[in-house]
Chain A
Amino acid sequence: MDTEISLRVDGAERRLTVDTRTTLLDALRERLGNTSPKKGCDHGQCGACTVLLDGRRANSCLALAVAHDGAEIVTAAGLAADGDLHPMQRSFIAHDAFQCGYCTPGQIVSAVAMLDEAANGWPSAVTFEAPDGSDGAVGTGPVDLATSPDEIRERMSGNLCRCAAYANIVPAIQEVAQS
């Protein structure tokens, strides 16, 4: 059942016709020609399709496009404004934080979103394992990722890398978190 929706993708307003069954991922890849987010599993199990959906990272493969009419979407292609690479993208290159590159746009969008989440004080499972107060409570201030690779690893575990560049992904993110 076709329906018309609009999306703001990487800063550009787009109108398109989708089937109610069309996921955001397929809307981007097959209807708008934006193949920056990748299809790895199509079931929210690998993270290759990660985009910023209204400012938050999300698996675009499990989001129905029709349910996100009017949404703002940023892909890894949109992080690189005006042709300049995002610092996270530069750091991934410098640390060789990928091999085949297929999970990479999702990893990078995820990492960029994670920096915001930590700055906003969002805890992770790891934050609770090492509470900073003696009463076991977890503070609500910003979480320092630069000095806690365990935090980065936990928060990035929704992005699988079969080439297994994890040992390079973590320092690539740490470097950006430090700056």
Chain B
Amino acid sequence: MSIIPARAMGRPLDRFDGADKVRGLAPYAYEHPVARPAYLSAVRSTIATGQIMGIDCSQASAQPGVLGVLTHLNAPRLGTDDGELRILQSEEVAFRGQFVGAVIAETSEIARHAAGLVRVDYRPRPHDVDLESSREQGRLRVPQQIMPMFPVTVDKGDVESALAAASVRVEHNYRTPWYNHNPIEPHTTIACWNDDQLTLYVSTQYLMGVRSTVAAAFRLDPQQVRVYAPHVGGAFGSKVPVHSDLILAVMAAQLVPGRSVRFALTRHQMFTQTGYRSPTIQRVRLGADAEGRLTAVDHESFEQTSRLGEFAEHATRATPTMYATPHLRIRQQVAALDLPTPSIMRAPGESVGMFALESAMDELAVACGLDPVELRLRNEPVAHPLDGRPFSSRGLAACLREGARRFGWQPRQATTTPSRQDGWLVGTGVAASTYPVLRLPGSKATIRVTPDGRYTVLMAAVDIGTGTRTALTQVAADALRVDLAQVELRLGDTAYPPAAQEGGSAGITSWGATICVGADELRRRIAAEHGGTIPADGLEVTVDMPENPHLEQYAMHAFGAQFAEVRVHGETGEIRVPRQLGVFAVGRVVNPKTARSQLIGGMTMGLSMALHEASLLDPRYGHVINHDLATYHVSSNADVPAVQAHWIAEQDDQLNPVGIKGAGEIGIVGAAAAIANAVHHATGVRVRELPITLDKLLTV
């Protein structure tokens, strides 16, 4: 494969939708002007498991302005087997906070008040929401294989014997809490039925998924469903799958045909209705020789899923890719609990798994008396440790070296004494990052050209804030070998050819590759059929995403190295992170400005994960009790003094015609471990359970 030369690519262009966004004029789903909107408000279960014995809607229905009340008694029967989506189908309650009804009204104030007037009587059943005791009592199962490329169970060599024979051993449990995505734009929908046509404005990462899922659930032909998503206010994975809020909005719209029903989840509901990252309990065992060369790696992870469906946080996914080791063992198990189903959240698997592995590597460095950068360099594999395939490119060592240089990393022995400044203990830490280059099937692109040399690229892709609208236009201009000003990219509408989801850092890789094929095809047809001249009535081609012949041949992964400086107050345990620095190897960088924003955004979310975030489940009630942004802390501006992201030049011809790996996920991977390792360096306290809060350091 050859990659296309860069002319527009590589330029740090301002994002094209900037002028609209800074004025608040770019419309998000809820904001589309519609005539006579109706408003929807949900009723949620107040028990974790059990049965609805009766619902009294009389008070709600009697409110002036109420247009309808939905319950399981009048909701349409759905044509889906997805347990999460099958709302209002019976009197069964599967988790606390599940939708059990809804009110449609003329105003949002009336709808919300009336929803509170719906009286539901329950017969509760005992519930089980406890991951720890499920693990202790062995109520676990091996999840279905999560993706064909990534096994959940690995046995290479003999880990137990290797560990027994190792000169140095590290064995610890690491825990990460329940996380919620919390994009600032909640999940929102406008749904409107007109005759047999359903129009949806949805805050989504995957328009085609919305269309096919809704069509199946409501037994429609996909052609009856039109989905718009021109702008999306953050997502981080929560907006890839269709969740029950969209189903509820479509049901409600059926009750008031011709009216556009607006539905926005409340922030409280965002903690229950939109998926989340499962808590993990991970055990890592490392064995090494006296020089710090790994002889055995064992990584087990336990997570939760729900009784309604399975999603496993693939925390061990990155481990086989990271370090050379003759003996490797991976296990993954889930417990099915009476809770909402977890889902994908930024770097699903890697972000929590690499917290455990990279913390353990730091512990190994200490145990070996080795500098942690040096330890990682010593364990660089020449080929993929699991299957021996060569890496299409592997930039970890270069990132570690470049990062150490830029950060001013002081190589150290294990016994380095931390420094103290004005009562603050100061330390530094390092961790590696990685994320696979994924390829999501299902994209097509249409490219039109008119004789005036203007090109229009159409795809039902979406820009969730990553800068796709800008960067993909740069890709298209270079693929077409024309100036940027000649290219217009249209996204966010299912009237355009289907596109894979914006997720897995694979949006631009998949869509970009498709556009490259389209550009080739357009040029070929102009040359072959029109003598090299654009015909008078223009020309249009529609192409499929290309196969990648190298897919089986090479292991394809992005890498990075993250460095952090922390300060821990010696008397209060307060933690500050004055500096984070990451260097990444992500293939070609299409737009340095927007790519850098993706990387620093990921690193900062990693900081937030390290220090702040945790959804607190109350096992008695069965729901997350800190369900707002005052008590579920995400990092604020004051928590983020300096974040720097850099990259190394990396040309990789095996990936895709654009030569890119994606940059959306990798920034969060390793960030929390780098901070935890720095905290250990500063204080001598190893925090193996996130978040790292001051109470865990107060005994210093």
| A and B in direct contact, judged by CB atoms within 8 A | yes
8 Å CB interface, B223-266 against A: 231-236, 264, 266
Chain A: interface residue count, which band?
A: 35 or more
CA of A103 to CA of B243, assembled, Å = 23
Please indicate the chain A residues that have their CB under 8 angstroms from the CB of B594 in the complex. 96, 99
Do residues B465 and A99 form an inter-chain contact, with CB atoms below 8 A? yes
- Tell me which residues from 66 to 98 in chain A have a Cβ below 8 Å from any Cβ of chain B: 75-77, 79-80, 85, 89, 92-94, 96, 98
A154 interface contact, C-beta 8 A: yes
Q: Which of A42, A48, A89, A156 contacts B23 (CB 8 A)?
A: A89
User: Which residues of A have CB within 8 Å of B637?
Assistant: 152-154, 156-157, 159, 161, 166, 169-170
Give B104 Cβ to nearest chain A Cβ, in Å. Answer: 15
Given A102-B28, A165-B597, check contact A30 B605 (CB 8 Å): no
The reply on A40 being an interface residue by CB < 8 A is: yes
| Residues in B whose Cβ lies below 8 Å from that of A105 | 21-24
Determine if B636 and A160 form an interchain contact, defined as CB atoms under 8 angstroms apart: yes
Q: Which residues 91-141 in B have Cβ within 8 Å of A in the complex?
A: 107-110, 113
Q: A99-B465, A99-B601 are in contact. Are A153 and B27 (CB under 8 A)?
A: no
Check: B184 CB closer than 8 A to any chain A CB: yes
Question: Judging by beta carbons under 8 Å apart, are B466 and A167 in contact?
Answer: no
Chain B contacts for A29, CB-based, 8 A = 31
**One of B18, B233, B264, B598 near A93 (C-beta < 8 A):** B18
Q: How many A-B residue pairs have CB under 8 A?
A: 189
Shortest Cβ distance from A158 into chain B, in angstroms?
A: 8
Q: Assuming the A-B contacts A26-B109, A100-B185, are A167 and B604 also in contact, with contact meaning beta carbons closer than 8 angstroms in the complex?
A: yes
Query: Contact string, B583-596, partner A, CB cutoff 8 A, digits 1/0?
Result: 00000000001101
In chain B, what residue has the closest Cβ to A19?
B109
Q: How many residues of B contact A (CB 8 A)?
A: 67
Which residue of chain A is the closest to B644 with respect to CB atoms?
Answer: A167
- Chain A residues numbered 98-140 whose CB sits less than 8 Å from any CB in chain B: 98-105, 108
> A77 touching B24 by the CB < 8 A rule?
yes
**In the assembly, what is the distance between CA of A77 and CA of B20, in Å?**
9
B464 within 8 A of A: yes
B23 lies within 8 A of A96 (CB) = no
CB distance from B14 to the nearest CB of A (A): 5
Shortest Cβ distance from B235 into chain A, in angstroms?
8
B25: Cβ under 8 A from any A Cβ:
yes
Instruction: Find out whether the CB atom of A35 lies under 8 angstroms from the CB atom of B31.
Output: yes
> In the bound complex, do residue A45 and residue B233 qualify as a contact, i.e. CB atoms below 8 Å apart?
no
A153 touches B21 (CB 8 A): no
B308 within 8 Å of A (CB atoms) = no
Chain A, Cβ-Cβ closest to B235:
A100
Nearest CB on B from A45, distance (A): 4
Does A41 contact B109, Cβ atoms closer than 8 Å?
no
Contact B22 A157 (CB under 8 A): no
B523-539 interface mask toward A, CB cutoff 8 Å, 1 = contact, 0 = none?
00000000000000000
CB distance from A28 to the nearest CB of B (A): 10
Alpha-carbon distance between A103 and B629 when the two chains are bound, in angstroms: 14
Q: Across the interface, do A40 and B635 meet the contact criterion of CB distance under 8 Å?
A: no
B640 touches A153 (CB 8 A): yes
> By the criterion CB–CB under 8 Å, are B24 and A93 in contact?
no
* CB atoms of B597 and A100 under 8 A apart: no
The 8 Å CB contact of B184, one of A46, A108, A154, A169, is A46
Are B604 and A164 neighbours in the complex by a CB distance under 8 Å? yes
The yes or no answer to A38 lying at the interface (CB within 8 A) is: yes
Whole-angstrom CA separation of A26 from B39 in the bound complex: 12
**Which residues of B have CB within 8 Å of A150?**
638, 641
Please give, as numbers and ranges, the residues of chain B lying within 8 Å of A164 by CB-CB distance.
600-605, 608, 635, 640
Which B residues are CB-close (under 8 A) to A93? Answer: 14-15, 18-19, 22
- Which residue of A is nearest B270, CB measured? A41
Q: Which residue of B lies closest to A105 (CB)?
A: B24
Q: Give the docked Cα–Cα distance between A64 and B184 (Å).
A: 22
Determine whether the beta carbon of B628 is less than 8 Å from that of A43: yes
Chain A residue nearest to B465 (CB atoms) is A100
Of residues 588 through 638 on chain B, the ones whose CB sits less than 8 Å from some CB of chain A are 593-594, 596-598, 600-605, 608, 628-630, 634-638
Contact A41 B267 (CB under 8 A): yes
**Within B186-233, which residues are at the interface with A (CB < 8 Å)?**
186, 231-233
Whether A14 is near chain B, meaning CB under 8 Å from some CB there, is no
Q: Does B183 contact A (CB under 8 A)?
A: yes
Task: Assess the B465–A168 pair: CB atoms within 8 A.
Answer: no
Query: Which residues from chain B contact A102 at a C-beta distance below 8 Å?
Result: 28, 183-185, 233-234, 465
Other-chain contact of A33, B33, B602, B608, B630 (Cβ < 8 Å): B33
Give, as a whole number of angstroms, the nearest-CB distance from A148 to chain B. Answer: 12
Q: Give Cα distance in the complex from A135 to B600, angstroms.
A: 40
A108 near B22: Cβ-Cβ < 8 Å? yes
Q: Tell whether, in the assembled complex, residue A22 and residue B23 are in contact, meaning their CB atoms are under 8 Å apart.
A: no
Which B1-45 residues have C-beta < 8 A from chain A? 14-15, 17-28, 30-31, 33, 37, 39
In A18-77, which residues have CB < 8 Å from any B CB? Answer: 19, 21-22, 26, 29-30, 33, 35-43, 45-46, 48, 75-77
- Which residues of chain B come closer than 8 Å to A163, judged between CB atoms? 234, 465, 597, 601
Please tell me if the beta carbons of A43 and B629 are within 8 angstroms of each other in the complex: yes
- Cα-based distance from A29 to B30 in the complex (angstroms): 10
The answer to whether A99 touches B636 (Cβ under 8 A) is no
Q: In the complex, which of the residues B19, B109, B186 contacts A21, with contact meaning CB atoms closer than 8 Å?
A: B109
Knowing A36-B25, A165-B601, say if A160 contacts B15 (CB, 8 Å): no
Q: In the complex where A96-B593, A102-B233, A164-B635 touch, is A30 in contact with B640 (Cβ < 8 A)?
A: no
Chain B residues contacting A156 (CB-CB under 8 Å) are 637
Contacts of B110 in A (CB 8 A): 19
Q: In the bound complex, what is the Cα–Cα distance between A89 and B20 (angstroms)?
A: 10
Instruction: Judge whether A15 is part of the interface by a CB distance below 8 angstroms.
Output: no
B628 with A41: CB separation less than 8 A: yes
With most chain B CB atoms within 10 A of its CB, the pick from A21, A38, A85, A101 is A101
List chain A residues, Cβ under 8 A from B266. Answer: 42
Q: Which residues of B contact A161 (CB under 8 A)?
A: 184, 637
Question: Do A101 and B629 touch (CB < 8 A)?
Answer: no
The answer to whether B164 has its CB under 8 Å from any CB of chain A is no
Interchain CB contact (< 8 A) of B638 among A45, A98, A154: A154
A101 to B20, CA, bound (A): 9
CB of B414 closer than 8 Å to a CB of A: no
Query: Which chain B residues border A104 with CB–CB below 8 Å?
Result: 21-22, 24
Provide 27 A-B residue pairs closer than 8 Å at the C-beta atoms, listed in order of the A residue: A21-B109, A22-B109, A26-B108, A30-B37, A36-B23, A37-B24, A41-B267, A43-B628, A43-B630, A45-B629, A77-B25, A89-B23, A92-B22, A93-B15, A96-B14, A96-B594, A96-B596, A100-B232, A100-B235, A101-B26, A101-B233, A102-B233, A105-B22, A149-B641, A150-B638, A153-B640, A167-B600
A85-B19, A164-B601 given. 9 additional CB < 8 A pairs? A22-B107, A85-B23, A99-B234, A100-B232, A100-B464, A153-B641, A156-B637, A162-B184, A162-B605
